[in-house]
Amino acid sequence: MIRFSEVYKRYPGGGDALKNVGFRLATGEMAFLTGHSGAGKSTLLKLITAIERPTRGQVWIGQENISKIAHRKVPFLRRRIGIIFQDHKLLHDRTVFDNVALPLVVAGLRHQDIRRRVRAALDKVGLLRKERNYPLQLSGGEQQRVGIARAVVGKPPLLLADEPTGNLDPSLSLEIMDLFAEFNRVGVAVLIASHDLELIKQLGYRQLVLSEGELVAGGDSR
Amino acid sequence: MRPWLIRHLQVFFYSLGQLWRSPWGTLMSVAVIAISLVLPTALYLALEVVDDLSGQWHSGAEISLFLEPEVSDQAAINLAKKINQRPQVASVDYISATAALEEFRQKSGFGVALDLLDKNPLPGLLRVLPKDNQLSSIQAKAWLLEFSALPEVDQAEYDYAWVQRLQAMVQIGQRLGLIFSILLGGGVVLIIGNTIRLAIFSRRQEIEINKLIGATNGFIRRPFLYSGMQQGALGGLFALAMIYAALSLLAPAVVRLAGTYQSEFTLQIVGWIELLLLPLLGGALGWAGAWLAVGRHLREIEPG
Ligand SMILES: Nc1ncnc2c1ncn2[C@@H]1O[C@H](COP(=O)(O)OP(=O)(O)OP(=O)(O)O)[C@@H](O)[C@H]1O
Ligand SMILES: [Mg+2]
């Protein structure tokens, strides 16, 4: 699903945010990405969604090398990836339903299909009753679940999450992680960047550990 | 309906709804656009009126027929009678070469000099006076051609120098109007470009999110282009309303000025098709302005 090969990333005017990173994530696999603050977790996820480009090395998503992907192809890459953010990135002037529908509207689906699939996604995250609410009328955990519903509504084969439980208390965090595990059980590959080492240990998935931009555990054996 | 058409309609009504949701901002920019469109249009219409009036004032002016020197008094009088029989002719005066010379001698004070000539240099003259309001400028020109072709007539002249001068001024006015139109049209493009630029920045986060979930540039561009087009078209409609209001206030005065009692006069000038051009033009200018803003600023907004 994902393959990094000798990937370096240097931001203009900074040191190396990623150094010689190599790993694979198999189709349908779930893993955590950990490391201290500034280790390069967010940077690694941004390379997968072509928000940033690698300075050196190759990033493969499925059969496609995206390290030099053309601008006009980027939207279609992103439609194959569900992204979840710590700060949710919801539109506050639209209802929960409209927020979740956004990826399908963008992809140009028919109205009837959009209705059906949005309601299915909201049902999976347990928020069907709140479809007419606005994001700010929801709790932090509920907003995060709206974000997850939006990420999965297009049925992407890959989910990425950057600190999805950063603002939530332990029991809510576990709930959110269980939700990811549930999607993983039906064949979706999941990669989650997180600080929450205790929770990660508890769940027992593979861990990719970054330190100072280098992958120190869980990557390709060298 | 086809899916892409439905999608375009959705965006159309969505961006119209956005305009409706901030009525004051919309009203302001639409009013500025309307004024920018009204000014050149009003100038154009005023010139049209003047042009039309000057055309009507051709009538009432007289036509002078200068006769060949060998035409006798009797032949000239016969010709005068013949022309007088035309239904549109009010009267024809014959001024013989001798009478013309006498008149000239008295008015010019060149009497002594004229005595030195052994031959009268002046031709005989027929003054043709058309009936009031019966002769259009086109007819007048046709008459000139016809009269100058008569064997007795050396030259036919129409007293319309001042009309020509007026029309030259109208032409200059039209040039100026064109320059105004281009400047103000450019102004409309910039105004809408700026409005759209602000809209893009105020919806920066939404644009970023859309890009993150796989929206193409075309998808993100579309509502802004529609918005620009709609503001321009609304400005055009406002301009249309202003011009109609102004015309209905001015119409009585214009009719009086024209010296006619034909009330359809002003309505003929301002054709519906001509005025429907205003919203279309406004829409096109708005689209162009939005296109400029979008081309410049959407690229800058990238998630990161
Ligand atoms: N846009 C940027 N421009 C310059 N430097 C950047 C940029 N983004 C990140 N960096 C630097 O790259 C390094 C890795 O940052 P990154 O955000 O990937 O860390 P992280 O592991 O996600 O940290 P955190 O856990 O705090 O979110 C840091 O040293 C950071 O300062
Ligand atoms: Mg981070």
Mutational test site, ligand 1, from A11, A162, A191, A195, max ligand atoms within 8 Å of CB: A11
Whether B72 and B154 share a structural domain: yes
Least CB–CB distance from B216: residue in A75, A83, A102: A75
Quickly list DSSP for B232-295.
HHHHHHHHHHHHHHHHHHHHHHHHHHHT---TTHHHHHS-HHHHHHHHHHHHHHHHHHHHHHHH
Taking CA–CA distances from A88, the nearest residue in chain B reads B209
What's residue B8's pLDDT?
85
Q: Do B213 and A106 touch (CB under 8 A)?
A: yes
Supply the mean pLDDT for chain B: 82
How far away, in angstroms, is A83 Cα from ligand 2 center?
Answer: 14
Confidence class for position B263, pLDDT limits 50, 70, 90: very low
Q: Do A108 and B7 touch (CB under 8 A)?
A: yes
Give the separation between CA A181 and CA A188, rounded to whole angstroms. 9
Whether B172 and B277 share a structural domain: yes
- Which of B177, B205, B229 minimizes the C-alpha distance to B8? B229
Reading phi first (left if > 0) and then psi (alpha if -120 to 50, else beta), residue A59 is in: beta
Looking at B143, B159, B175, which one is the last position of a domain? B159
- Which of A80, A204, A169, A182 minimizes the C-alpha distance to A126? A182
Beta carbons of B230 and B286 less than 8 angstroms apart: yes
- Which of B232, B293, B227 minimizes the C-alpha distance to B17? B227
Return the CA Rg of chain A. 17
DSSP 8-state symbol, A1: -
Q: Which fold has domain A1-80+158-222?
A: Rossmann fold (3.40.50)
The CB of A14 under 6 Å from ligand 1? The reply is yes
Residue-range definition of the domain harbouring residue B91: 62-159
Whether B171 and B153 share a structural domain: no
Kindly state the percentage of chain B with pLDDT values over 90: 26
What's residue A76's pLDDT?
95
Residue, of B159 and A152, whose pLDDT is higher: A152
Ranges assigned E (strand) in chain A: 2-10, 16-25, 30-35, 56-61, 64-65, 81-84, 158-162, 189-193, 206-211, 214-217
Complex prediction ipTM = 0.91
Name residue, tokens 């064997």. B151
- State the alpha helices, DSSP H only, in B116-215: 137-148, 161-202, 204-212
In chain B, how many domains are there?
2
What's residue B267's pLDDT?
46
Whether B170 and B286 share a structural domain: yes
Looking at B128, B159, B190, which one is the last position of a domain? B159
**Chain B contacts to A (CB-CB under 8 A):** 3-4, 6-7, 205-206, 208-217, 219, 302-304
pLDDT higher than threshold 50 for residue B272:
yes
Q: Do B209 and A91 touch (CB under 8 A)?
A: yes
Looking at B127, B159, B191, which one is the last position of a domain? B159
Domain with CATH 3.40.50.300 in chain A: 1-80+158-222
The CB of A76 under 6 Å from ligand 1? The reply is no
Mutate to test the interface with B, among A47, A66, A77, A102 (most CBs of B within 10 A): A102
Beta carbons of B150 and B79 less than 8 angstroms apart: yes
Kindly state the percentage of chain B with pLDDT values over 70: 84
What's residue B125's pLDDT?
87
Mutate to test the interface with A, among B213, B217, B298, B300 (most CBs of A within 10 A): B213
**List of chain A residues whose C-beta atoms are within 8 Å of the C-beta of residue B7:** 108
Q: How confident is the model over B108-118, as pLDDT tens digits? A: 666 677 777 77
Residue B149 sits in a domain whose CATH number is 3.30.70.3040
Q: Do A106 and B214 touch (CB under 8 A)?
A: yes
What's residue A186's pLDDT?
94
* Model pTM above 0.90: no
What's residue B256's pLDDT?
67
Nearest CA to ligand 1 atom 22: A42
What's residue B268's pLDDT?
52
For the CA atoms of A198, A200, A204, A208, the dihedral, rounded to the nearest 10 degrees, stands at -120
All residue ranges of chain A with pLDDT < 70 are: 220-222
Least CB–CB distance from B209: residue in A77, A79, A89: A89
When pLDDT is averaged across residues B245-255 and rounded to a whole number, the result is 76
What's residue A222's pLDDT?
42
When pLDDT is averaged across residues B295-302 and rounded to a whole number, the result is 86
CB pairs under 8 A between A and B: 50
Whether B284 and B195 share a structural domain: yes
Name residue, tokens 């000539």. B117
pLDDT higher than threshold 60 for residue B261:
no
Whether B115 and B233 share a structural domain: no
Q: How confident is the model over B212-229, as pLDDT tens digits? A: 999 999 999 999 999 999
Give the separation between CA B178 and CA B186, rounded to whole angstroms. 12
Q: How confident is the model over B275-284, as pLDDT tens digits? A: 788 899 999 9
**List of chain B residues whose C-beta atoms are within 8 Å of the C-beta of residue A51:** 212, 302-304
